[in-house]
Structure 1
Amino acid sequence: MIRRFEQSLAEIVGCIILISVIYLVLVNGPLTITRIQLPESLLAFNTIFLSILIESIPFVLIGVFIAGLIQVFVTEEHIIRLIPKNKFMAVGMSCLLGALFPACECGIVPIVKKLVHKGVPIFAGVGFLLTGPLINPIVVASTYMAFGQDVRMAILRMVLGLIIAIIIATIISLFFKGNQLKKSASLLEMNQAIARFPFSLRMKAMLMHSIDEFFEVAKYLIIGAMLAALVQTYVSTNYLAGIGEGIVYSTLIMMGLAYLLSLCSEADAFIGASFHHVFPKTSILGFLIYGPMLDLKNTIMMLAVFKIRFVLFLMIVITFIVFSVLMLVHPWI
């Protein structure tokens, strides 16, 4: 176990050194390599890529740390007591718990994976997955500030997001029964063995699990951040805004923009507010609600954790429900 810990620590240090080298080489001034100046677009891509990573990694670290705590200290009996047996009450409970949990769409994936592995029903996991990044206290506060202390916009995002999450989790409960994890092998025997360890050894096991989980998740985060940076660098948002005429098209454009930009949910309100004079409030809400539920980064991370069929179904349901609810409530917004 000590050797494994040392190897993991070496990998962490190596990643930090690599990111530092990339930053120093490509960001500090207009560098030339073998007298060939790097294109401005490449430098912009590098800056956006690193900013997405720097913005996301702290939340991923929090997520894998909590996942480690769940793995070592939360037993199946705890889960059974926490989640109601009634399906609809379980959906409501998971959505409310997610609403109180400060996590972004990246950090929430390993937490949900661990909860589902521990026995939380997949539909309850989806409720937690959707509300955690969307309506936690930090996101509500940032939305309030981004829109010039507009309480109504913050409340609309929170209430509509909660309603949409409950609808989606209920639909998932009707179509999926198993845990839908790619690796569904039971960890019950290992958990029972760890439960008998002294506290110090359990803490060490928790840290080891968090490190393993981080490296499993981080590679998909890097791929997602790279794709999102490519989109932000080479796809013009002005062009997208230009083709978004009418409430239907503008809402679809803003939802697509939220998916491609893959912004952290704690900061996306400030970007959404910049479109306030271009698109109607309904379209802005589409950006604010859809992005935390589904974006390019967390799609890749979910594909690494859950079965492909489940992820594709979830993506379709999220897109359809978010758009449909916004169209229904548009006359009153």
Structure 2
Amino acid sequence: MVTFLQLNTIFLSMIMEAIPFILLGVIVSGLIQTFLSERWISRLLPQNRYLASLLGCGVGLFFPACECGIVPITRRLIRKGVPLHAGIAFMLTGPIINPVVLFATYIAFGNDWRMVLIRGGSAVVVAYVTAIVISYLYPKLPMRLHEAAVMETAAGDAGSAAAAHSGHAHRAEREPLHRRLYDVMLHAIEEFFSVGKYLVLGAFIAASMQTFIPTSSLMHMGNNPVTASLVMIGLAFVMSLCSEADAFIASSFRSTFSVGALSAFLVFGPMIDIKNTLMLLGVFKGRFVIVLIALVAACTLGTSLLVGRLFG
């Protein structure tokens, strides 16, 4: 009975914590769908993959979304024509380098700017390297069948009726604001129910793992820099904390783990956890998601070891 109550408490707390950010994410997604045209996005983004990925890493500064709400935004951007590598760079950094998360990290670590810079810098390095590797491994979009069908239909419509599309765009710009805001809400509702089922399933799995896998058994394995970082990566994945709150949990491990291992926890968790893994599987092919997780884990491990050397 106690175990069930613990599972129920963790599960509900995850859902309640994530829903506001899911709502924020789907509303931003609806705004992108309604107000940003493919032509405007193509003019904004550099053609060079290195510059586009770098820009993707920086966009997160202006989107205060956690990992729960970043997937629908990324999906909408890719549907609008943002290159995969730029979208992935944004998706990985957005939950970390936004001002809300950085300020929470500053407070959690006792007004320590060093940990803020370590977290933000490590996140950009991991996301940038991952995005560049993805750009070479996946020249074609690795979307699931239903996602690919939506994009192909949109591309076909645009290609077969360019003039009509242009006229429609001008008419859309002249539409009353209340009509366009209504469209935003329609897109947001559709997106919410699309990703919400993955949030519920992911939260249940994460809550179950927290309930039945003792954290102490994982912590005993962190007796050297490599295994310590791997343990913290595993904890970040299992605990599936919101990026606005994970710094306070990480700070409680300061007496147990090194700065390098703590940075692994603070970087990997917002990029990849159980909840957003299931959301990613709803958008991308399974093989791509596995490759993405492996790249993020390898890059996070490497940066955490470097951080340990420099700041340990």
The answer to whether the superposition gives a TM-score over 0.5 is: yes
Q: Which residue of 2 aligns with 1:150?
A: 112
Equivalent residue, structure 1, for 2:227: 249
Q: Write out per-residue CA displacement over residues 109-156 of structure 1, whole angstroms, 9 at most, x where no aligned residue.
A: 000000001100000000000110011111111111111111111111
Cα pair distance change 1:194/1:215, threshold 3 Å: farther
Report the residue type matching 1:323 in the other structure.
Answer: L
Superposed counterparts of 1:294-313, under 5 Å: 294-313=272-291
1:194 Cα deviation from its structure 2 partner: 7.0
Worse-superposed segment, 99-108 or 219-228: 99-108
SS at match of 1:305: coil
Q: Match for residue 259 of structure 1?
A: 237
Contact (CA 8 Å) 1:144, 1:154: kept in 2 or not? yes
1:265-284 mapped onto 2 (5 Å cutoff): 265-284=243-262
Q: Which amino acid in 2 is paired with 1:283?
A: A
1:41 aligns with 2:19: no
The reply on whether 1:196 has 2:171 as its aligned counterpart is yes
Q: Do structure 1's residue 131 and structure 2's residue 93 form an aligned pair?
A: yes
Q: Find 1:327's aligned residue among 302, 305, 310.
A: 305
CA distance in 2, matches of 1:140, 1:201: 36
Verify the 8 A CA contact 1:72 1:194 in the aligned structure 2: no
2:274, 2:225 → 1: CA distance? Answer: 24
Partner of 1:13: none
1:220 equivalent in structure 2: 198
Name the residue aligned to 1:208: 186
Q: Is the 8 A contact 1:221 1:301 kept in 2?
A: yes
Asked if structure 1 preserves the Cα contact closer than 8 Å seen for 2:233 and 2:268, the reply is: yes
Question: Please, which of 65, 71, 84 is the counterpart of residue 122 of structure 1?
Answer: 84
1:231, CA displacement in angstroms? Answer: 1.3
Mapped contact 1:276–1:284 kept (Cα < 8 A): yes
Give the letter for the 2:125 counterpart. I
> 5+ residue gaps in structure 1?
1-38
Q: Which amino acid in 2 is paired with 1:97? A: V
Deviation, structure 1 residue 44: 1.1
* 1:202 partner letter: R
Structure-to-structure mapping, 1:11-90, within 5 angstroms: 39-90=1-52
Give the CA deviation at 1:241. Answer: 1.1
SS across alignment from 2:97 = coil
How many residues are treated as equivalent by the alignment? 295
Contact persistence 1:72–1:195 (CA under 8 A)? no
- Does the Cα contact within 8 Å between 2:258 and 2:308 map onto a contact in 1? no
Q: Answer yes or no: is the 8 Å Cα contact 1:129–1:293 preserved in 2.
A: yes
TM-score, normalised with respect to structure 1: 0.85
State the TM-score, normalizing by the size of structure 2: 0.91
Letter in 1 for 2:200: I
Question: Which has the higher relative contact order, 1 or 2, with Cα contacts under 8 A spaced 6 or more apart?
Answer: 2
After TM superposition, give the deviation of residue 195 of structure 1 in Å: 6.1
Is 1:175–2:153 an aligned residue pair? no
Q: Distance in 1 between matches of 2:278 and 2:130?
A: 20
Task: Determine the C-alpha separation between the residues in 2 that align with 1:329 and 1:267.
Answer: 22
Which 10-residue stretch deviates more, 212-221 or 155-164?
A: 155-164
1:159-174 correspondence runs (5 A) = 159-174=121-136
Change (3 A) 1:127 1:48: same
Structure 2 gaps of 5+ residues are 159-163
